[in-house]
Amino acid sequence: MNQYLPYFTLLPLLGMAICAFLPGRSERLIFLTSVVTVGLHILAMLVYGVLWLLGQEAIYFFEGPILYQTHDSHFSIDFFFDRVTAAYGLTASVLTFLVLIFSRYYMHRDRGYKRYFTNVMFFFGGLNLALFAGNFETLFIGWEIVGVTSFFLIAYYRDRYLPVKNALKVVSLYRVADAALLLGIWLCHHSFERNIKFYELLDAHMLFTHFTENPVYVVVISSIFLLVAMVKSAQVPFSSWLPRAMEGPTTSSAIFYGSLSAHIGVFLLLRTFPIWEDSHVFRGIVVFIGLITSLMATMTARVQSTVKTQIAYSSIAQIGLMFVEVAMGWHLLLLFHFIANAFLRSYQLLVSPSVLSYEIHDQFFHFNPPKHPDPKTWWGKIRLTFMVWSIKEWNLDALMFRYLWTPLKTIGRALGFISVRAIVLLITPVFLVGLFLVYNRPQVPSLVQEVLPSAMALLGILLALKAFTERGKAQLNWSLVIMNQLFSALSIGLNEQFDHGQILLFLSGIVVSGAVGFWCMWKLERSGELVTLDRFHGHSFYYPGLAFVFMLASLGLSGFPITPTFIGEDLLLGKIGERQLVLLSFTALSLILDGLVTFRIYARLFLGPNTKGYHEVAFRSS
Amino acid sequence: MSHHTTRAVKNGFDEAVVLAELRHYLPTQTPLKDFIHHNSLHAFQELNFYDAIFKASGIFGFKVTFNLDEYRGLFHIGRIREDILDQVIGDRKGVSAIPEWKQKTLTQPYPEGIQPRIGRLRKGWKNVCQLDLDNLVQPVLFRILASYMDQGVAVWHFPFEDKGLLEALRLVDTNSFAGFFRSKRVRDILFDPQRCTMDYLLKELVGDESFYEQYIFDQQFSHRGWSGMAATLEQQPHSILYPKKITLREVIILELLLEMDALDTYFGRKWQPLCSQFAAEPLDLFAPVDNTELQEVYRIWQDAFEWSYYDEVLAALQHVKNSRTAEPRTHRHFQAIFCIDEREDSLRRHLEAMDKDGETFGCPGFFGVEFFFQPEHGKFYEKLCPAPVTPKYLIKEFGTKGHRKQELMYDKKSHTHLLGFLSTLSLGFLAVVRLFLTIFRPKMSPAISNAFAHMNVDGQLTIENKHPDDKENNLQIGFTVDEMAARVEGLLKGIGMVDDFAPLVYVVAHGSSSANNPHHGAHDCGACSGRPGSVNARVFSFMANHAKVRELLAGRGLVIPATTQFVGALHDTAADEIAFYDEKEISPANAVAHLKNKQTFEHALDMNAKERSRRFASINTKADLGKVRQAIRRRSVSLFEPRPELGHGTNALCFVGHRSLTKGLFLDRRAFMNSYDYRIDPDGKLLLGVIRPLPPVCGGINLEYYFSRLDNYKLGAGTKLPHNVMGLIGVTNSSDGDLRPGLPLQMIEVHDPVRLLILVEHDPEVVLKTIKTEPTLYEWFEKEWVQLVAIHPANNQFFRFKNGRFERYSPLKNQVKHAGDMKKLIETADGMKTNFIVDATRENLPVQVLTVED
């Protein structure tokens, strides 16, 4: 039984690969490929589920291919199956199956038909990898795929401004969650001194003895996972991204943001529940967050004047209650609640365009002008207050902006006095000196040795921050990102344990992606196009192929699991010692920034309205 | 329109003038529950067509023609004919200039692009202050406006909507512990009537008075959807059911306040008015737009595109006229009056083919009876006549059976807290079942807009007025006998139906059922204010059957035999279903014939469904007729189908004349057809009444499709797929987006943007005299927003209207296509590969003569 687990991920990925090679106009083939794949997936899930129910074991585990192994780290793709996987997996495949059939004619003749189906299949593959993951590393890969396909489906209408803006907004938050998840994995690694597998978490005795020895870890690890879950499931204060993600076709909104994507945070909490099960304080915190979210989101849903955002907030409210259910240990109820909410919100979104005629008809026969809240009463005032706050979405969107991005931008802008060119000139000698020191470590005084890695990492971050706010030539910013990555590698190289192979592994993807990126920009410039970051250029309009290649380069450069950089990233993180919190936070920040900057460069060059030539261009506000 | 004269005098900033201008240029689309087609560039209608569109483009950045690649592509596939291109160049530039201009049109490269005037001043905030003001202001502004205008999406309504927008904000601010403004200064201004004015706020924000107008235009046109909706609701407060008091002025003041608030928050109080920060000249947005050589090339191309089609039509008409033999008068099985709607073209053709003794007529689908309708238990009235008409009559429904079912999935409880939890758990599992059924067994449900549900088939109507004092809200309930007779006479004479009445005359209205379609109103009858015309059909039939009415009519020489009965019906243009009304009234003598006619209708609908199915990817046109019909029916109730039907897509022609003009022609559902008989109207007295509604109704439809096709992003609503229903009044693309007026992509992709060609069968002299009677009517033709050709009945010659007079036109094409077998024609037609024009236009079949009829 175990050995079949990987196929639940491979099957959709295979479907996606076939879709990707089909000609864009053969709607029928694209549809058939994806629907047959997902149909088979449902059948397999059902058969597997029945056998699992009939069988003796509550869980299945399969150790997949080992991607990398040294004496202290072990990176393998593992698979795991329990009732959570069963409930999430079956819901995901049934929903995806139905939505794909729905999309067949819904998306007919859309110019991105193939892009849509390939993305949904990629998403479905990634989601299954996350759901069937047997360890955190595997989960992380799936997680990244879900995140990046979300970006592509939010920015699906890539020639308009708002989808691109909102996609960047969402992916920035996702990036924070991704980095946090990596941190969580790092902490687990250090705490358990090995790569932990999910079935091991079920060993209560092991966990108990482990955590009574390291009580701090419980709080820290769990908090980090909670943060990740809150971001991905749009809990307060991270709620505002979910309604803004409703930019793609209704079908993709239904499957992603109405249901599957939004519930993945709850899934992570279920997976990590054994870690924090015994901490009543922590469980209290989760209950609190869930309750607050469900209250605030319900009120926000009440004042929404658009159908899709109303459904989004209602979904957030129910997910808040699911947080409560996880923490209270009512997991069976939670699974039912999840299935019901996922289907209900998907359905509501799919039929949301009907609301207009239905409600107008209803109003025609039953309209009574609603009463105003009485401002003289205390309750009336409170209601009005809540209404205003809810309309303003509790300022959550502005809050995110002010506390997450503004500080970064402020630092970046503070570096405005120095030009990118000057930086490149100044920083190269520093890098070379650093490189020299890597190979001549004994000569360096020990005090310097201690701060040097952090200093290098900090330099890298400053480079990334500079790139984050720069509006000039894209090539220079691209090189800043590459240099940031090089500095990260350097800082690890200067750190105590040093492994040539791992750094090379890390850099291999960076170099290739970096070079491909430069090539794309060179091609653009040679065709007489602007390659600057001062606005969105929308080059994908005239250069869709180049846009695709550059997108791959961007993914590679930001450590997405399509190049070995990704494994290197994980391994390098593992090299950071338990006490090196400064270096760790710098490295994590640098990871976040890299992603933000590369996505920003990709978006500014290839997405948004293309105003060159005489063709239809959307208004900015539409 | 007087705004141009007022513009001439520039004495600083005049608030009232600027507001009037804004209202003139903003979109005027009403909330989506009623969809009234109109010229998207109505604001420029006083100019000549080409001057107008290039001006609109220069000011607002619309794409108003195809680009050169597209036109040249159309030329290379033969859709634009070379002989026509030569003729157009010859007409415009002189025959000697043909080689030079042909080279320009065909090969010369031009830099193409649009640099609109609008928005240039507003860019100052970004360029000078490094501040994206739109990003800071628009989300809040849209949220407030959306919540305020919302008709019932939100569970908690924005209160004090009867007090006006700003007053409501003041009341909310004083009566709660929260507000929408962060800056204390701005909040103070809100409460200070002296300072809460456009003048004061503009002084603070812009500084220099000569920039005010440009600033306001830039600001309001950065979200023309919202501003247009506010302006429309201000002028037509009854276009929504839940009244909201709002004015455009308030929206502008609110936006100015929010801008100050954002600037105060961002910079503190240390910011300067925009115009003190840079030196520039104010721009006169509405100054003339230069005529360039490229524009000339576009004009030539567009003319050639249009005439390549018109010429083919005229050639075919000539062929039909020449080969026509006088039809022997036979005993008519039935007559049927349809709406002029071009979607009825095919049904009429099939009906006549099924029963050679059937005859069809066309007239605007409200059948000349204008009234408000109140369904039983309805709390409001619905207007059932063309939008510009204000009826004085009310028809009430009573005695209905059955109630409309509720749809649980839309219950607002699922958006509440604890009840939301319970209903999620219960509805969630129901949703699984629903989702399966939705996909695999689509069927009619309360969530679907059903054309037949507009009026209850068992209900009774108060058609005859009992007493002149029987009034409700100043509307007379029902029509008196005199009023009825006048309407019946007007309609029948107008369409030339004055003798040879068949025993059964069907009055066939139309409507359209569709699922998941906020734009469903755009598929219903345009002559009934975007609603199904079933009530009108029934009302008209009642009137025409009324004994006293017939008595009066007979007195005026219009004798309807006592055996003749009028029967109302409704054709669902999406589902291809038909329902007949008041069948109980049909006399036993006519009952058998009626049964047989119903069969004929069914067969014709089968063929109609088949013909329509050729454009639908989901249906195999070659399948068994029953299956095709079933598939068409399912399509209209499928939630996953964004094209339940294709609406008025491809419309291009409008015939005013006898059916024999077009009988036997395959026009591919592109022609509006208004029956008219010049023989009973030699001096054109009736003609004016017939022609008057055509430019605004058919021309309005045509131009809305035209502009939505050419710029689906700015003038159309874009693709439907991401649409988000906003407050039940419109659609937006995202949570923070602008409202999107215009037609969605799925409705216009089959459309070839050619202006409407109205063809009138009458002496050109009479036609000219008629259209010159009313200046507003004449403007449509004079300024070339619609094209006009008169067909002289005496000699079968064509006269096209140009520069204020009619001139002889002989079609260049001397051959016509013969379609042969109708079935084969439909089955072998190609579908479009993509919806880019060069591919899309191939799907539209040429005009052809039907020789073998089905």
Where do the domains of chain A lie? 2-358, 418-606
CB-based contact B424 A341, cutoff 8 Å: yes
What are B358-387's pLDDT values in tens digits? 999 999 999 999 999 999 999 999 999 998
Q: Which helix (H) or strand (E) holds A67?
A: strand A60-69
What are B718-747's pLDDT values in tens digits? 999 999 999 999 999 988 899 999 999 999
Q: Closest chain B residue to A107 measured between Cα atoms?
A: B721
What are B740-795's pLDDT values in tens digits? 999 999 999 999 999 999 999 999 999 999 999 999 999 999 999 999 999 999 98
CB-based contact B404 A614, cutoff 8 Å: no
d(CA B729, CA B34): 10
Helices (H), A203-306: 204-213, 215-232, 241-244, 250-253, 264-276, 280-303
Residues of A in contact with B431 (CB under 8 A): 340, 343-344, 346-348
Closest CA to B590 of B569, B568, B564: B564
Closest CA to B653 of B323, B336, B349, B317: B317
CB-based contact B424 A344, cutoff 8 Å: yes
CB-based contact B427 A358, cutoff 8 Å: no
What are A347-369's pLDDT values in tens digits? 999 999 999 999 999 999 999 98
Residue corresponding to tokens 């015939």: B655
CB-based contact A162 B733, cutoff 8 Å: yes
HSE of A14 in the Cβ direction (CA atoms, 13 Å)?
11
Provide the ipTM.
0.95
In this structure, of A20-24, A397-401, A605-609, B211-215, the range with the lowest mean pLDDT score is A397-401
| Closest residue to A343, CB basis, from B377, B421, B431 | B431
What are B177-229's pLDDT values in tens digits? 999 999 999 999 999 999 999 999 999 999 999 999 999 999 999 999 999 99
Residues recorded for chain B: 854
Choose from B640, B748, B835 for mutation: most chain A CBs within 10 A. B640
| Closest residue to B721, CB basis, from A107, A160, A337 | A107
Question: Would you place residue B325 in the very low, low, confident or very high pLDDT band (cuts 50, 70, 90)?
Answer: low
Average pLDDT, chain B: 93
More confident residue, B484 or A420: B484
What are A203-262's pLDDT values in tens digits? 877 777 777 777 788 888 999 999 999 999 999 999 999 999 999 999 999 998 878 999
Choose from A104, A386, A622 for mutation: most chain B CBs within 10 A. A622
Instruction: Tell me if residue B180 falls in helix, strand or coil.
Output: coil
Q: Look at residue A65 in the predicted model and tell me its pLDDT.
A: 87
HSE of B74 in the Cβ direction (CA atoms, 13 Å)?
27
d(CA A171, CA B818): 59
Question: Given a cut of 50, is residue A373 above it in pLDDT?
Answer: yes
φ, ψ of residue B517 in degrees (nearest 5):
-130, 95
Question: Would you place residue A376 in the very low, low, confident or very high pLDDT band (cuts 50, 70, 90)?
Answer: confident
Where do the domains of chain B lie? 31-112+290-326+693-854, 123-276, 334-400+449-645, 408-440
Minimal Cα–Cα distance from B144 to chain A, Å? 8
Residues of A in contact with B171 (CB under 8 A): 375
d(CA A590, CA B720): 40
Through-space distance between the first and last CA atoms of chain A, rounded to whole angstroms: 51
Residues of B in contact with A369 (CB under 8 A): 242-243
Q: Look at residue B813 in the predicted model and tell me its pLDDT.
A: 85
Closest CA to B661 of B316, B364, B347: B316
Q: Look at residue B671 in the predicted model and tell me its pLDDT.
A: 97
Residue corresponding to tokens 């008629």: B770
Q: Look at residue B854 in the predicted model and tell me its pLDDT.
A: 39
Question: Would you place residue B326 in the very low, low, confident or very high pLDDT band (cuts 50, 70, 90)?
Answer: low
What are A401-416's pLDDT values in tens digits? 888 888 888 888 888 8
Minimal Cα–Cα distance from A508 to chain B, Å? 39
- Supply the pTM of this predicted model: 0.96
Mean predicted confidence (pLDDT) in B84-110? 97
Closest CA to B708 of B55, B64, B24: B64
Question: Given a cut of 80, is residue B2 above it in pLDDT?
Answer: no
Q: Which helix (H) or strand (E) holds B119?
A: none
Buried b (16+ CB within 10 A) or exposed e, A334-345: bbbbbbbbbbbb
More confident residue, A445 or B505: B505
| Closest residue to A621, CB basis, from B140, B222, B724 | B222
Average pLDDT, chain A: 91
Mean predicted confidence (pLDDT) in B604-616? 96
A193: which DSSP letter? T
d(CA B276, CA A393): 35
d(CA A536, CA B487): 60
B46: which DSSP letter? T
Question: Given a cut of 50, is residue B6 above it in pLDDT?
Answer: no
Choose from A300, A619, A620 for mutation: most chain B CBs within 10 A. A619
What are B439-486's pLDDT values in tens digits? 999 998 888 899 999 998 889 999 999 998 999 999 999 999 999 999
d(CA B136, CA B262): 7
For A312, other C-beta atoms within 10 Å of its C-beta total 31
CB-based contact B517 A339, cutoff 8 Å: no
Question: Given a cut of 80, is residue B823 above it in pLDDT?
Answer: yes
Question: Given a cut of 50, is residue B4 above it in pLDDT?
Answer: no
d(CA A287, CA A293): 10
What are B33-67's pLDDT values in tens digits? 989 999 999 999 999 999 999 999 999 999 999 99
β-strand partners of B464: B479
